[in-house]
Amino acid sequence: MNKVENSFLNKTQFGEDFLWGVSTAAFQIEGAHDADGKGSSIWDVFTSQKGKIKNGHHAATACDFYNSYQYDIELIRELNIPNFRFSISWTRIMPTGIHPVNQAGIDYYNKIIDLLLAQGIEPWVTLYHWDLPHALEEKGGWTNRESVAWFSDYVETCAKHFGDRVKNWMVINEPSVFTGAGYFLGIHAPGKKGITNYIKAMHHVTLATVAGAKKLRSNIPNANIGTTFSCTHIEPFSQNQKDVDAAKRVDTLLNRTFIEPLLGLGYPQDDLPVLKKLINYMLEDDRNNLAFDFDFIGLQCYTREVVKASLLTPYIGAELISAEKRNVISTVMGWEVYPPALYHILKRFNSYEGIKKIIITENGAAFPDTVTNGKVHDIKRTHFIQDHLEQILKAKEEGLNVDGYFVWTLTDNFEWAEGYNARFGLIHIDFETQKRTIKNSGLWFKDFLS
């Protein structure tokens, strides 16, 4: 039996109100890195540095969405996708990160929003998807407490210019990833390292998430406000107590550190003692500014990680056992293909009180796609999406809270440190010619949504 042609999945199984969409990010698709007054972001600078990105790739052009948005939005409509998640580039709106505002940037996003609505596609805006203005990074970036005020002003500007038409907002994307990779490990922009940089950044980002959400609520009273988290299902390598404890620390770091303070639970310091260093950066009123009553939470889950204890790893005393070492099926990113991870994450986050609605705001896979006779036969991606939708359906049938699914991503794009080597799109991009080719996975999704 060909699973793609004979899938038992049907859109109606998920309910009439279930949200279907596709997600993107400005830096990964727009290109036009210095067009029409746009300022430089930390990723513009990071990608210009030798050895930071695989094969020396950069995103100066990326998918050229800046100039091709009309065609790409037409493709979204053609694929029957009713919701489009995209992010706003802070440096198009405020080239230096603070006032004055760049009118050309405002005009650009107004054109996107107006065209989406004209095509019957609902816009979902992410306010921050990692592209901090470089001018602010020169002042310390997220390690500087002033970043909370900088971000609040930017959010208010977006709310005032776009809030009359945009109802759905996501404040910050995957804080655990961009603080961990960018301010502790140094493998993402801005390339900073060390526990002090990380602790400062994570605290200020959490405060900024709440401050930004409050700005949205005050400026757009009827807005549907959420924020998104990268979530990874964690399992111990063995039932040895040391491995079990190590897995708990990694789970705390990756899945709990940012969501719990926003729910009013505070930072999970007892299960990850290094977080006690936060005391050095907490001001008297901070505890009153760490929580917000979000309308929804976006979860972004791609895989699971298997963890064992390691005395050589500082702060968490744990190491990840790679998919390659475990000899399991994986993607181009080296991530294990393990659909039950999504079910486990949904079950886990349903255990929190105070989460009104959960939407899967990213899920997808990178495989080595090629165009053959004008087609892309990406059977693995279609299976990946189907298998993960089955896990969502399982969760729904058990009464778990899950209200939407957004595929990552619309088109192949600039995948951060991986450059153009990891193709996640439903649509193939020839980065030499910018030719778009809808993959078979995109055609399957189109039929599923029809």
β-strand pairing of 318-321 with 296-300? unpaired
Tokens at 201, concatenated? 């950044």
User: What is the CA angle 235-236-238, rounded to 5?
Assistant: 135
For the chain, what is the radius of gyration of the CA atoms?
A: 21
pLDDT tens digits, 281-306: 999 999 999 999 999 999 999 999 99
Q: What is the pLDDT of residue 4?
A: 53
**174 among known catalytic residues:** yes
Q: What is the DSSP string of 323-383?
A: HHHHT--B-TTS-B--THHHHHHHHHHHTSTT---EEEEE---------BTTB---HHHHH
Crossing angle of helices 195-219 and 175-183, in 10° steps, is 150
Crossing angle of helices 65-78 and 103-118, in 10° steps, is 10
Quick one: CA torsion of 180, 211, 207, 98, rounded to 10 degrees? 60
Q: What is the pLDDT of residue 128?
A: 99
Cα distance between residue 340 and residue 324, in whole Å: 19
Query: Tokens 């991986």 appear where?
Result: 418
Q: Which whole-number Å values give the CA distances from 312 to 28, 347, 429, in the listed order?
A: 35, 32, 42
Crossing angle of helices 340-350 and 379-397, in 10° steps, is 30
Catalytic residue among 30, 174, 260, 415: 174
pLDDT tens digits, 137-178: 999 999 999 999 999 999 999 999 999 999 999 999 999 999
Neighbours of 222 (CB within 10 A): 7
Beta bridge partner(s), residue 225: 169
Any idea where the domains of the chain sit in the sequence? 11-449
37 and 102 Cβ atoms separated by less than 8 Å: yes
247 and 235 Cβ atoms separated by less than 8 Å: yes
Q: How far is CA 15 from the centre of its chain?
A: 25
Cα distance between residue 45 and residue 390, in whole Å: 41
Tokens at 6, concatenated? 């004979």
User: 251: part of which helix (H) or strand (E)?
Assistant: helix 241-251
Beta bridge partner(s), residue 375: 372
Tokens at 90, concatenated? 């802070």
Q: What is the pLDDT of residue 8?
A: 84
Q: Which of 290, 244, 246, 292 is nearest to 267 (CA)?
A: 290
Q: How much is the pTM?
A: 0.98
Cα distance between residue 40 and residue 96, in whole Å: 8
Quick one: CA torsion of 202, 204, 206, 212, rounded to 10 degrees? -140
All residue ranges of the chain with pLDDT < 50 are 1-2
User: What is the CA angle 255-91-122, rounded to 5?
Assistant: 65
Q: Which of 101, 94, 31 is nearest to 67 (CA)?
A: 31
365 and 331 Cβ atoms separated by less than 8 Å: yes
Cα distance between residue 103 and residue 105, in whole Å: 5
Tokens at 363, concatenated? 């899920």
Cis previous bond, 409, omega within 30: yes
Query: What is the b/e burial string over 331-341, where b = at least 16 CB atoms within 10 angstroms of the residue's CB?
Result: bbbebbbbbeb
Catalytic residue among 30, 156, 362, 390: 362
Query: Tokens 């959490």 appear where?
Result: 206
Cα distance between residue 9 and residue 344, in whole Å: 20
Q: What is the pLDDT of residue 1?
A: 39
CATH fold label, 11-449? TIM Barrel (3.20.20)
